[in-house]
């Protein structure tokens, strides 16, 4: 396998850093909105100046779910490809900057319309709720900008392969490319509904919208979106954490296979978000639920690989007994501790996902705040804690600084604060959801109905958790600002692990993109063609737009 390069090129570092700064700015603003939401839902606090709950809920979801994640991921991936396959060419870097500015101006446009109360349609922007056209146009710019960045990565990877014929590409580059292929294929769905349905409708060019079609196109994008968030966390788990703990990666081929399985199975499954939606035949829901259970397999493979990595390392250090290896792990190193806590939370988070995907159980939890609890464990804990853990080496690597012991200690405290806050908030969301508390709703006692009154203590616990989490946001921002501008100058490693078996050579077939993309297209056509034709052919007249805020 080719020797990985040691450092990210300085010009690529700037590009990556620019993305990370926007991501953390989104975290600051979106996190503050989150704090306000939990306070409002406790029933003990009202927003001043007539600000709508739904305005801050939209701000929170868009900035954290869409902006923080997309910017962090693209910045991280630019750094990863530059580190492992060499400096970007001038052309690719220019494309990267064009993508960055398109995404940033799109975000500014969307944020303007949300903050001025003209787009309180939440992050899923379900029709027939209708936002100002500027909201959709801004989002379209973000998506197209991310494609431009994706093309920059593809071009760089293609150049590397041309000059390294017959070689397997470095793992992090392979993973970044897989994630961008997944993103490109799935975001075609959201681009289609935004460009062909929602923008003309919000501009008044069309009067009515096919609601079911727009939701179906949204979820064609919306579920793979969650794996677009998850895969960079898995990149850190597979390719970085083994090096951080001083061990080796369990298997390079297993990691690649897991990523290919995500590419294949994460897209044709959107109906598991629409299991209670009328207008889609139960047969097609069943097909997509089966495919959903397929996409659980690569996560189970990842759990296996992580356990194997940790146990092999512990045993190599002389650990004995069933769990003796746990004691050998570097608990005081925040680069390991934060992602590890993320992994731990993924066990209940993933279990919750399997419950959601089970058709009958979905009837109990759908549209309840249980689902909000589920995604705060998955994306807001597993993924985000891993991103924080990665920032502890990535930012100083890119800025030419080193993390001090004091900052490392603060990062450990930050992780604990996050875990405690999320246990309160997400735990009570799960319980309240089981008692029927709805999601996407402001505080209400529903005319003091006894059932709604049961939810109040859980909503207060959510506010307690939300407040603790906000302290966690302040802590991470202090650390990030320190690492970017104030930490002592020096060299920080971008850790990249070696495979346990150095002679292991991943099958070149895993990089046969024609084969994998062909299979992806075939699976999508099987899962979606008949239902979409049906949704279009048997469509009701469509709906006018509503502005209910
Ligand atoms: Fe989900 C709804 C099903 C994973 C995010 N999900 C959502 C929404 C979001 C979201 C944002 O089927 C709400 C969307 C909205 O606004 O309406 N989800 C699943 C399934 C999985 C899953 C089957 N979701 C995720 C991930 C997300 C995410 C990942 C973000 C990053 N989800 C659903 C369904 C709904 C849904 C339905 C719709 C519900 C409804 O009705 O609206 C699976 O991918 C989960 C598989 C994961 C595992 C866990 C493996 C564990 C690992 C950790 C190992 C630990 C180690 C450390 C090694 C099987 C890998 C241990 C060490 C020790 C010492 C113990």
Distance CA 529, CA 532 (A): 5
Token pair listed for 350: 């993933």
Token pair listed for 115: 């903050």
Lining ligand 1 with CB less than 6 A are 124, 226, 229-230, 272-273, 292, 295-296, 299-300, 302-303, 306-307, 326, 343-344, 346-347, 350, 353-354, 356-357, 362, 366, 371, 374-375, 378-379, 383
Distance CA 309, CA 328 (A): 12
Three-class secondary structure of residue 438 per DSSP:
strand
Residue nearest to atom 11 of ligand 1 (CA): 375
Mean pLDDT of 311-339: 96
CA separation (Å) from 415 to 151, 335, 392? Answer: 35, 11, 12
pLDDT at 2 over 50: no
Token pair listed for 395: 């930012």
Three-class secondary structure of residue 249 per DSSP:
strand
pLDDT reported for residue 166: 87
Q: Which residues of 319-350 are buried (b: 16+ CB within 10 A; e: fewer)?
A: beeeeebeebbeeebbbbbbbbbbbebbebbb
Give the tens place of pLDDT for each residue, 453-495.
Answer: 999 999 999 999 999 999 999 999 999 999 999 999 999 999 9
Give the pLDDT band (50/70/90) at residue 239: very high
What does pLDDT average to over the chain? 96
Catalytic positions are 223, 227, 374-376, 439-440
Angle at 402 between CA 396 and CA 403, to 5 degrees: 95
**Which 8-state DSSP code applies to residue 386?**
H
User: Considering the chain, what percentage of its residues have pLDDT values greater than 90?
Assistant: 95
Q: Relative to the CA of 296, which ligand 1 atom is closest?
A: 46
User: Ligand 1: distance of its center to the CA of 223 in Å?
Assistant: 10
Residue nearest to atom 64 of ligand 1 (CA): 326
Q: Relative to the CA of 358, which ligand 1 atom is closest?
A: 12
Give the tens place of pLDDT for each residue, 71-120.
Answer: 999 999 999 999 999 999 999 999 999 999 999 999 999 999 999 999 99
Distance CA 50, CA 238 (A): 48
Mean pLDDT of 180-201: 97
Phi and psi (nearest 5°) for 320? -130, 175
The alpha carbon dihedral of 434, 435, 436, 439 has a sign of negative
**β strands within 212-253, DSSP E:** none
Three-class secondary structure of residue 63 per DSSP:
helix
Residue nearest to atom 54 of ligand 1 (CA): 303
User: Ligand 1: distance of its center to the CA of 44 in Å?
Assistant: 31
Picking from 34-48, 140-154, 171-185, 459-473, which range would have the lowest pLDDT averaged per residue? 34-48
Look at residues 27, 37, 34 and name the one whose alpha carbon lies nearest to residue 66: 27
Give the tens place of pLDDT for each residue, 341-363.
Answer: 999 999 999 999 999 999 999 99
pLDDT reported for residue 1: 46
Mean pLDDT of 433-441: 95
Give the tens place of pLDDT for each residue, 129-167.
Answer: 999 999 999 999 999 999 999 999 999 999 999 999 988
Are the beta carbons of 179 and 232 closer than 8 angstroms? Answer: yes
Residue keyed to tokens 């709508």: 52
User: Ligand 1: distance of its center to the CA of 450 in Å?
Assistant: 32
Give the pLDDT band (50/70/90) at residue 198: very high
Mutate to test the pocket of ligand 1, among 215, 378, 419 (most ligand atoms within 8 A of CB): 378
Are the beta carbons of 373 and 441 closer than 8 angstroms? Answer: no
Q: Relative to the CA of 365, which ligand 1 atom is closest?
A: 41
Are the beta carbons of 335 and 244 closer than 8 angstroms? Answer: yes
Look at residues 316, 337, 317 and name the one whose alpha carbon lies nearest to residue 392: 337
* Residue-wise DSSP of 490-519: -------PPBSSTT----GGGG-HHHHHHH
pLDDT reported for residue 399: 97
pLDDT reported for residue 501: 81
Three-class secondary structure of residue 366 per DSSP:
coil
Residue nearest to atom 7 of ligand 1 (CA): 375
Residue nearest to atom 5 of ligand 1 (CA): 375
Distance CA 16, CA 99 (A): 12
User: Ligand 1: distance of its center to the CA of 302 in Å?
Assistant: 13
Give the pLDDT band (50/70/90) at residue 376: very high
Mutate to test the pocket of ligand 1, among 122, 226, 297, 351 (most ligand atoms within 8 A of CB): 226
User: Ligand 1: distance of its center to the CA of 395 in Å?
Assistant: 28
User: Ligand 1: distance of its center to the CA of 291 in Å?
Assistant: 14
Give the tens place of pLDDT for each residue, 501-527.
Answer: 877 777 778 999 999 999 999 999 999
Residue nearest to atom 17 of ligand 1 (CA): 273
User: Ligand 1: distance of its center to the CA of 299 in Å?
Assistant: 9
User: Ligand 1: distance of its center to the CA of 241 in Å?
Assistant: 21
Mutate to test the pocket of ligand 1, among 371, 377, 380, 433 (most ligand atoms within 8 A of CB): 371
Give the pLDDT band (50/70/90) at residue 545: very high
Picking from 3-17, 25-39, 180-194, 505-519, which range would have the lowest pLDDT averaged per residue? 3-17
Mutate to test the pocket of ligand 1, among 228, 233, 353, 438 (most ligand atoms within 8 A of CB): 353
Dmax over Cα atoms in the chain, in whole Å? 71
Give the pLDDT band (50/70/90) at residue 10: very high
């Amino acid at each position: 396998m080719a020797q990985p390069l040691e450092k990210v090129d300085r010009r690529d570092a700037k590009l990556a850093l620019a993305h990370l700064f926007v991501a953390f700015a989104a975290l600051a603003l979106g996190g503050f909105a989150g704090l306000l939401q939990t306070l409002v839902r406790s029933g003990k606090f009202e927003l001043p100046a007539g600000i709508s709950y739904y305005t801050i809920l939209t701000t929170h979801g868009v900035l954290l779910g869409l902006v923080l994640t997309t910017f962090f991921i693209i910045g991280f991936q630019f750094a990863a490809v530059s580190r492992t396959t060499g400096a970007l060419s001038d052309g690719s870097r220019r494309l990267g900057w064009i993508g960055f500015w398109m995404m940033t101006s799109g975000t500014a446009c969307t944020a303007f319309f949300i903050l001025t109360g003209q787009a309180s349609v939440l992050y899923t922007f379900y029709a027939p709720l209708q936002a100002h056209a500027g909201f959709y146009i801004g989002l379209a710019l973000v998506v197209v900008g991310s494609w431009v960045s994706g093309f920059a990565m593809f071009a760089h990877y293609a150049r590397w392969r041309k000059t390294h014929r017959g070689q397997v590409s470095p793992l992090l580059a392979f993973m970044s490319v897989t994630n961008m292929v997944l993103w490109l294929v799935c975001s075609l769905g959201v681009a289609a509904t935004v460009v062909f349905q929602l923008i003309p409708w919000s501009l008044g060019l069309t009067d009515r919208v096919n609601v079911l079609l727009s939701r179906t196109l949204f979820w064609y994008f919306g579920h793979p979106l969650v794996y677009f968030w998850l895969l960079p966390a898995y990149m850190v788990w597979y390719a970085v954490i083994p090096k951080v703990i001083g061990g080796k990666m369990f298997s390079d081929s297993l990691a690649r296979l897991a990523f290919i399985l995500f590419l294949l199975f994460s897209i044709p499954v959107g109906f598991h978000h629409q299991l209670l939606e009328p207008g889609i035949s139960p047969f097609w829901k069943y097909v997509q639920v089966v495919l959903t259970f397929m996409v659980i397999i690569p996560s189970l493979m990842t759990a296996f690989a992580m356990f194997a990595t940790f146990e092999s390392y512990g045993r190599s250090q002389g650990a004995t007994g069933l769990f003796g290896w746990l004691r050998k792990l570097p608990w005081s190193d925040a680069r390991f501790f934060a992602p590890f806590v993320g992994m731990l939370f993924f066990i209940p988070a993933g279990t919750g996902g399997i419950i959601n995907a089970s058709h009958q159980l979905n009837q109990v939890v759908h549209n309840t705040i249980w689902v909000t609890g589920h995604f705060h464990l998955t994306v807001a804990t597993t993924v985000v804690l891993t991103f924080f853990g990665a920032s502890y080496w990535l930012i100083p690597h890119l800025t030419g600084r080193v993390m001090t012991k004091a900052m490392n200690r603060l990062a450990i405290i930050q992780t604990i604060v996050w875990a405690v806050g999320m246990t309160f908030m997400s735990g009570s969301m799960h319980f309240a959801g089981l008692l029927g508390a709805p999601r996407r709703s402001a505080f209400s006692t529903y005319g003091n109905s006894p059932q709604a009154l049961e939810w109040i203590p859980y909503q207060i616990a959510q506010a307690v958790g939300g407040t603790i989490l906000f302290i966690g946001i302040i802590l991470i921002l202090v650390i990030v600002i320190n690492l970017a501008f104030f930490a002592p100058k020096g060299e920080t490693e971008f850790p990249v692990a070696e495979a346990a078996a150095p002679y292991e050579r991943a099958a070149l077939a895993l990089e046969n993109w024609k084969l994998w993309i062909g299979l992806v297209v075939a699976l999508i056509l099987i899962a979606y063609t008949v239902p979409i034709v049906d949704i279009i052919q048997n469509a009701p007249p469509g709906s006018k737009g509503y502005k209910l805020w």
